[in-house]
Amino acid sequence: MKHRRLLVFAGVVGVVALVASLSVVAAGSAKPTAAHQATVMAAPKVPNAAAIRKKYAGQKITFVGDSVGNGHVRDMRLAKRFTRDTGIKVSVVPHPSASDASYAQLARAFSAKSSSIDVAMIDVVWPGAFAPYLVDLKPALGKQAKLHIASIVANDTIKGKQVAMPWFGDYGILYYRTDLLKKYGYKSPPKTWNQLFTMAKKIQAGEQKSNSNFAGFVFQGNAYEGLTCNALEWLASAGAGHIIDGGKVTINNAKARQILDAFAAQIGKVTPQGVTTYQEDQTEHAFDNGDAAFARNWPYQYGIGAGAGSKVKGKFSVTVLPHGSSGNSVGTVGGWQLAVSKYSKHKGAAIELVRYMTSPAVEKFDAITNSNVPTIVSVAKDPAVVRVNPYLKPAIASVSRVTRPAKFFGTHYNEASKVVYQGINQILTGSSASQVLPQVKARLQQILK
């Protein structure tokens, strides 16, 4: 499928701006035992529900939403409240857990001009690619958009049309077991990747005496978009560039080969052999089941780890990701938006769902019950939100962010990312970086042309 070549990246740094704004948040002594109130906090009421009901009651819309962590549960709770208040019936369909599979699902529907999807959750790097198929939300939601970080809204605005609304942000962080660090004589989490590998090895050796499933470190190693995000963090934090720098493919360099081979060397040692098949949920399950000392994941995992069913509740914390000997800690920019399909038969009702889902009350609900990063600064500063989400502390929230090279590839970004994550997965499963990276570089150069 061919789209018009539109740049996806314009303003993607919006999430970076959010992080900068969060650096002024007063950091509380947040503890997992503050328990995300998913079971007690009611889904917010729908503002102006009576007027919406009068206009759209009885209409049916389909929302393709979240599937990672407790995202689907959140979507169902919000949709149920929205239906109760407005009379608009919402069918919630979780998208595929892998971002690239979700992209393909939407691309097929849009290219077929299907009316089966009314509202869709889209990745921060997709607005440009999908712009021709999305409703301009500026006339209806422009006022509400001003509550969100301006540069994220700019990212969602293509050729003057606001094709999506910010929903929540994301960035990679390190989860670690505070009880095990203390048990094995460590006073603080690792600063460098080598320190992490060393600490993970020691803790794993001790814990495997009573738990054969225990691993030192888990992350998203499967061949999918999540591995591109992880690999970008490894490269940038080791001074190995950002896959593309200055418009040129830079992934095949000595520092890149060194850091990627270093991660590959840990497979089957301090990381489980199966980590090369892990996505977000497998990573979260391993850590929250008490089977890992360290994990790289997105903020959503915090809420699950702090929940009643977690075996590590009260026994973990979060910090910035480690870095290489010649780099600094970074986190890959993520985040999700909500968009309305041009082929929806109920655009008005769909827009009202987006208005509700991207409102301050719902962002607060999402942050407290699902530990997602607010895109509205006032929500991010809310004491109730900060209290249960320590990733909003300045020391973590103000760390450098790295962005996927979507601006260079435009509508071909998914094709390029596939080249990256398949290549990195090959390295993790046994091929040397010196063998793989020249091929990756050559294929990326072809796509750039």
Mean pLDDT of the 283-310 span: 96
List the single range of 183-187, 229-233, 411-415, 436-440 with lowest mean pLDDT.
411-415
Specify the pLDDT at position 97.
Answer: 83
Mean pLDDT of the 31-57 span: 78
Is residue 13's pLDDT more than 50? no
53-67, 372-386, 405-419, range with greatest mean pLDDT: 53-67
DSSP state for residue 441 in the 8-state scheme: H
Q: pLDDT band at 28, cuts 50/70/90? A: very low
Q: pLDDT band at 118, cuts 50/70/90? A: very high
Mean pLDDT of the 44-60 span: 98
Is residue 19's pLDDT more than 50? no
Specify the pLDDT at position 392.
Answer: 87
**Secondary structure E strands in 56-172:** 60-65, 89-94, 119-123, 157-158, 161-162, 165-171
Q: What percentage of the chain has pLDDT greater than the value 70?
A: 91
Specify the pLDDT at position 66.
Answer: 94
For the whole model, what pTM was predicted? 0.86
Mean pLDDT of the 333-349 span: 97
Mean pLDDT of the 111-131 span: 96
Mean pLDDT of the 106-118 span: 97
Q: Are 447 and 415 in contact (CB under 8 A)?
A: yes
For residue 177, report the phi and psi dihedrals to the nearest 5 degrees. Answer: -85, 110
Mean pLDDT computed over every residue of the chain? 90
For residue 66, report the phi and psi dihedrals to the nearest 5 degrees. Answer: -75, 160
Specify the pLDDT at position 100.
Answer: 84
The torsion defined by the Cα of 313, 314, 318 and 324, in degrees rounded to 10, comes to: -90
pLDDT tens track for 194-246: 999 999 999 999 999 999 999 999 999 999 999 999 999 999 999 999 999 99
Specify the pLDDT at position 36.
Answer: 41
Specify the pLDDT at position 29.
Answer: 30
**413: exposed, middle or buried (Cβ count in 10 Å: 0-12, 13-18, 19+):** buried
For residue 180, report the phi and psi dihedrals to the nearest 5 degrees. Answer: -75, -35
Specify the pLDDT at position 34.
Answer: 40
Is residue 18's pLDDT more than 90? no
Is residue 157's pLDDT more than 70? yes
How do beta strands 292-297 and 215-218 pair?
A: parallel
Terminal CA-CA length for the chain: 18
Q: pLDDT band at 2, cuts 50/70/90? A: very low
